[in-house]
Chains A and B, each alone.
Chain A
Amino acid sequence: MPFLEAVRLALQTIRVQKLKSFFTLTGVMIGVMFLIAVVSIVEGMADYVENDFAASIIGTNTFYVARYPNFQDVSDEEWRRLQRRPRLFAPAADVVRGALPTGTYRTAMVNESFLPATVPGLRPRSVQAVATEASYFEIKDYEITQGRAFNAQEVALGARVVVVGSEVATYYYAGLDPIGRELRIGGVPYTIIGVIAAQGSVFGFSLDRLAVAPVTAPLSRVIRPRGDLGQIVVQAPTREAILDGQEMVRGALRAFYGLGPGDEDDFSLSSSDAALSFFDELKGKLVLFGTALPAIGLVVGALVIMNIMLVAVAERTREIGIRKALGARRRDIIAQFLVEASTLSILGAMIGAGMGIGLAKLIAAVTPLPASVAPWSLVAALVVGAGVGITAGIYPASRAARLDPITALRQE
């Protein structure tokens, strides 16, 4: 029997037995739906982290000098060892700055923390408070939509000025010009001198609930009462220059701390690559767990299809007998049932893929999770669908093919 004939026959059977076919489809449909949704969301997150997260949170081509490494699992013992490292202070920033060629690398001291900000008469709200230098605006590539950024003089003087994120501006001064108005952060009043263009959000975390003040302002003392530095951010001119920069900074800081050749660094240099590799590891786990559950669904789907095909063989024994009497060979009967099972499950997989894309988009719309449909996942869904159908169909089909036509014809 030609292949197209078998497909036509399968579609006809599916059309005639709508309800049964629907239940057969369901298992594969749901499995594939969740498979696509999970893969889309994990892919979406990966996309986001690689393209936007690194740039908007960590900064392009940047690395950080800090007391502790970022984004790393550390054991208790390791943590105690890290605790013995000296704190980072402003002179270290001068060493870092001095170690790098001027004009190509940018550096900025950064202290940041979430602090309540208020305006008299309004409920306090937590904002991401950043105390830094003027170069920070260039490193982050912030666009100022209203007013201006603070300058080096204001940093030198410790001026109580603040540049706020767009969400902060609209929350405290909706419909008003916020420039020149007051914002209290950690109990200290600052004058708003600029507003940063909206940045959007990462994983539901708004990048616009931001308030940036000079590192010399009282804000630094609120964030770090001991007067030390959170981190020094360094921006290299190119991605390749990050490693050079790190080596120059490492050498200078080791000399500054008086470390011998055999001593370990007592500071950490972390780049966005570290964060990305951390995320890659996380992504691997997400994909594994995220696909394991739908895979179980697919196995259940396969069992349902096998069961339904066995019932179909039993119900259609007479039909098989007629077909054999009229000249169907074993391979014709096998082809008929295999194609029927695969058509069912491919159909289920296609509907499931559509629903999975829908689900991913829905999740992306109502939750902060991003979604991106990977083309390979659609191909995989179809392959999985066909695979499930063929696997589930082999046994029932071979049982049908082995039926004795005389007994089959006699069956009522």
Chain B
Amino acid sequence: MSTTAERQAVTGAAGAAPDRDWVIVTRGIKREYDMGGEIIRALRGVDIAVKRNEYVAIMGPSGSGKSTLMNIVGCLDTPNAGEYWLNGQLVSAMQDDALARVRNKEIGFVFQTFNLLPRATALANVELPLVYAGVPAAERKRRATEALEKVQLGQRMHHKPNELSGGQRQRVAIARALVNDPSILLADEPTGNLDSQTSEEIMRVFEHLASTGQTVIMVTHEPDIAAHARRIVVLRDGTIASDETQPQFVARLGIHAPQL
């Protein structure tokens, strides 16, 4: 895990491409929305640096700007000001189609509402990122099958989402997120629609992924879920309020460290 000093060093060097260890570096990111004449300042200068293999939770109450940050980190949106370097590329300056490429290659999304195509089988859903990556059909099928087997859904790959349980759906989404070997797994409230037992199950999958070297960024408003990460960043009013290790976070909030 990165140290505070390292992070300050890399986020301070404006304009310089970070070295290969850093997957995510943001420097003074600002994002404003014009809501019918009223300017909403969702992010007011956010510096975040995430090294390869880190497992980071971004926490904050609603309105703290965590969704905006997650959209920018996920390359679904671009900042009004500041730099965003993702895996050595300056994505904050990119246009629509270039961002689509980056999303396809570098980011694996896991959403609260799963966002699977309802009429497509689990296999077809997992193949989708590979379709847009231009992978030939046979290889696509092989890799999608492999990804589904990794999340223990090898038996259910020809089922459609409505024939699967919530936990299974989220595992399909995880398989889809990982099938293209992304630099980061970006999860937005991944347990928001799941009961606590299933949530634990998904957290175990994340834990396993993190322990095998996958960089994981998880956005959540639940401290219990955030406490699964090795590092917890808390946002408040569009700025970073705290950036702690898991033991620090658990101790400060007085909650139990999760046992998986």
- Which residues in A have some Cβ–Cβ distance to B below 8 Å? 1-2, 5, 12-13, 16, 318-319, 321-332, 405-406, 409
Question: Contacts of A330 on B, CB cut-off 8 Å?
Answer: 96-97, 100
B34 to chain A, nearest CB (A): 14
Question: Contacts of A322 on B, CB cut-off 8 Å?
Answer: 115-117, 128
Q: Are A326 and B119 in contact (CB under 8 A)?
A: no
Question: Contacts of A406 on B, CB cut-off 8 Å?
Answer: 71, 76-77
| Minimum-distance CB pairs A-B, first 3 | A327-B104, A327-B132, A329-B97
A214 to chain B, nearest CB (A): 82
Q: Are B100 and A329 in contact (CB under 8 A)?
A: yes
Can you list 23 A-B contacts (CB < 8 A)?
A12-B119, A13-B119, A322-B116, A322-B128, A325-B76, A325-B109, A326-B103, A326-B109, A326-B132, A327-B101, A327-B104, A327-B105, A327-B129, A328-B132, A329-B100, A329-B101, A329-B132, A330-B96, A330-B97, A330-B100, A331-B97, A332-B100, A405-B76
Nearest to B179 among chain A residues (CB) is A326
Q: Are A323 and B128 in contact (CB under 8 A)?
A: yes
The complex places the Cα of A318 from the Cα of B77 at a distance, in Å, of: 17
The answer to whether residues A332 and B132 also contact, given A326-B103, A409-B111 and a CB cut-off of 8 A, is: yes
A8 to chain B, nearest CB (A): 9
Q: Does B176 contact A (CB under 8 A)?
A: yes
Q: Are B101 and A326 in contact (CB under 8 A)?
A: no
Nearest to B124 among chain A residues (CB) is A12
Question: Contacts of A318 on B, CB cut-off 8 Å?
Answer: 115
Question: Contacts of A325 on B, CB cut-off 8 Å?
Answer: 74, 76, 103, 109, 115
Question: Contacts of B134 on A, CB cut-off 8 Å?
Answer: 2
Q: Does B131 contact A (CB under 8 A)?
A: yes
Which one of B71, B111, B132, B134 has the greatest number of beta carbons of chain A within 10 Å? B132
Q: Are B76 and A1 in contact (CB under 8 A)?
A: no
Q: Are B97 and A326 in contact (CB under 8 A)?
A: no
Q: Are A326 and B128 in contact (CB under 8 A)?
A: yes
Which one of A1, A322, A325, A405 has the greatest number of beta carbons of chain B within 10 Å? A325
B112 to chain A, nearest CB (A): 10
Q: Does B133 contact A (CB under 8 A)?
A: yes
Q: Are B100 and A328 in contact (CB under 8 A)?
A: yes
Q: Which one of B96, B104, B120 contacts A326 once the chains associate, using CB atoms below 8 Å? A: B104
Question: Contacts of A2 on B, CB cut-off 8 Å?
Answer: 134
Question: Contacts of A323 on B, CB cut-off 8 Å?
Answer: 128, 132
The complex places the Cα of A74 from the Cα of B128 at a distance, in Å, of: 72
The complex places the Cα of A321 from the Cα of B188 at a distance, in Å, of: 15
The answer to whether residues A326 and B76 also contact, given A1-B132, A16-B119, A332-B132 and a CB cut-off of 8 A, is: no
The complex places the Cα of A323 from the Cα of B176 at a distance, in Å, of: 12
Nearest to A319 among chain B residues (CB) is B117
A17 to chain B, nearest CB (A): 9
Taking A322-B116, A325-B109, A329-B96 as known contacts, 7 extra A-B pairs with beta carbons closer than 8 A to each other, sorted by chain A number, are A1-B131, A322-B128, A326-B104, A326-B128, A326-B132, A329-B101, A330-B100
Question: Contacts of B74 on A, CB cut-off 8 Å?
Answer: 325
Q: Are A326 and B129 in contact (CB under 8 A)?
A: yes
Cβ proximity bits B115-149 to A, threshold 8 Å, 1 near / 0 not: 11101100000001101111000000000000000
B214 to chain A, nearest CB (A): 18
